[in-house]
Amino acid sequence: MTKAVFKLALIANLLVALGFGPGLAATLDVDDVPAPAWSPVPFARPADFAAYMAQRHAWPREKIDALLVDYKANAQVIRLMEPPAQSFKRSWQSYRKRFIEPKRVAAGVNFWQENQDALDRASKRFGVPAYVIVGIIGVETIYGRNTGSFQVLDALATLSFDYPRRAAYFSKELEHFLLWTEEQGIDPKTIRGSFAGAIGLPQFMPGSIRRHAVDFDGDGSIDLGASKADAIGSVASFLKRHGWQSQSKQKTRVHLQLKPQQEASEEARKKILEAGWQPRLQKRDIEKAGLGFPKESKDRSDPQKKEKPKQQTREKSDQKDAAGAHAWAVFELPNADAQSTWIATDHNFWVITRYNQSPFYAMAVLELGEAVRDERRRQLAKPSEAATSAEVKTKNIATKTQSAESKAVGQAIPKDTKIKSADGKHDD
């Protein structure tokens, strides 16, 4: 590699590290977040990586050599990383069915019930709703049931040295992984995770663990595999540090109606999509492209209890102009050969895509979280409904009994007999 090429690569990666690259997280608080490690160029072989770690972090080369002495590219990791065949037709509806299904929803209800305190604390501290946290952990690992069986060191090494398409990214994650295990006193060879090197219930990459994970159970360490509290707090921390807006009154997403009868060309919708993932569009711009907002403005994603009439009136007034007052992004979610699903999304939707850069993923997180929340509410309402029903039945029985007794007494007393009151006097 020439010096000029090396310098260009060095500058490019430095810009990415400083926040000028695509798909980068929102600005973080430099006071409490360590600067991410970064690698100037992809490494051809483990020896090159060992030389870099020795120069950058003063790691003895023999230490890296010992860890990677038996390195051999994992063919299964590479196969799983490959994009689908060009003939594959993406479908949001098919993707949705994988995650919003009864077993996963039931597991989510149990997870919420068992971790109510941690979810409440995380929501209060970071401002992220519990159902969003539950949705992410459910989509990622079915609440810890499937955290991955690949040796993380092996997976990250394979993707750093033998997967050129993403080598620059995964070599940074390999660096983070070794630094993290060194900091925590963990043997790198013992950590298991996904084929991409993601770890624990929330499937954090090593860089995210170092930047965003928190000790949320107060035991002095961060364990995303065994501590559900740490996983919950870390997911909320990640979203908050990427700009989650807890005070936003805007809907996270709205389903749009495609209006072919309107004179809107495909070119107009293409320009709408090219506006990007962050919300920049106004309602009028979206409607000009033949995409209509629903008439009903009630937010099904966060139903509230009945409010006083004045509150309802004010809420309806606010909702009437809500869609037009906010900025939106627009996504087209393909459904294979069927009609696409069109959605308008807010800033918090974009924040979820920082966790996994896919609108399919963000939609699945929201819909699973909402399904779990709604099922939990339904189950919690059952005892009160049963109690109310039993109370009504008891009152009915008591009323019938009292009526029967009164009737019997009336029949037993002659019509012309006077009845004594409680004080012994006759009632005239």
The token duo for 245 is 């807006």
Does the pLDDT of residue 191 top 80, yes or no? yes
- pLDDT of amino acid 391: 60
Average pLDDT in the 411-428 region? 40
Tell which wins on pLDDT, 36 or 238: 238
Instruction: Tell me the three state secondary structure of residue 133.
Output: helix
pLDDT digit string (tens) for 372-401? 999 999 999 976 655 555 565 555 655 555
Using CB atoms within 10 Å of the CB of residue 7, give its burial: 0 to 12 exposed, 13 to 18 middle, 19+ buried: exposed
Quote the pLDDT of residue 293: 92
Q: For all residues of the chain together, what is the average pLDDT?
A: 81
In angstroms, how far is the first alpha carbon of the chain from the final one?
Answer: 117
Catalytic residue among 62, 140, 287, 391: 140
Distances (CA, A) of 221 to 87, 213, 289: 46, 10, 52
pLDDT recorded at residue 283: 93
Left if phi > 0, otherwise alpha if psi is -120 to 50, otherwise beta: which for 185? left
Please give the pLDDT value at position 385: 57
Residue 282 has pLDDT above 60, yes or no: yes
pLDDT at 426 over 90: no
Kindly tell me if the per-residue pLDDT of 17 is higher than 80. no
- Closest to 168 in 3D by CA, of 358, 29, 353, 23: 23
CA distance 76 to 18: 33
Per-residue confidence (pLDDT) for residue 275, from 0 to 100: 86
Model confidence at 13, in pLDDT bands (50, 70, 90)?
very low
Statement: residue 405 has pLDDT above 90: no
Q: Is the pTM of this model over 0.85?
A: no
Q: Give the Cα separation of 331 and 13 in Å (integer).
A: 29
DSSP for residue 95: H
CB distance 36 to 17 below 8 Å: yes
Quote the pLDDT of residue 398.
55
**What are the tens digits of pLDDT across the range 302-327?**
444 444 454 444 444 444 445 557 89
Task: Determine the average pLDDT of the residues in 356-381.
Answer: 97
What's the average model confidence in pLDDT over 164-170?
Answer: 93
111-161 pLDDT, tens digit each? 999 999 999 999 999 999 999 999 999 999 999 999 999 999 999 999 999
By the 8 A CB rule, do 174 and 77 touch? no
pLDDT mean over 288-302: 70
Q: SS3 for 284?
A: helix
Q: How far apart are CA 295 and CA 170, in angstroms?
A: 46
Active site residue 140: yes
**Rounded Cα–Cα distance for residues 24 and 16 (Å):** 8
Quote the CA–CA distance of 54 and 321 in Å, as a whole number: 59
Q: For residue 52, what pLDDT band results from cuts at 50, 70 and 90?
A: very high
In angstroms, the CA 300 to CA 129 distance is 15
- What's the rounded Cα separation, in Å, for the pair 426 and 336? 88
Confidence of residue 104 (pLDDT cuts 50, 70, 90): very high
pLDDT at res. 394: 55
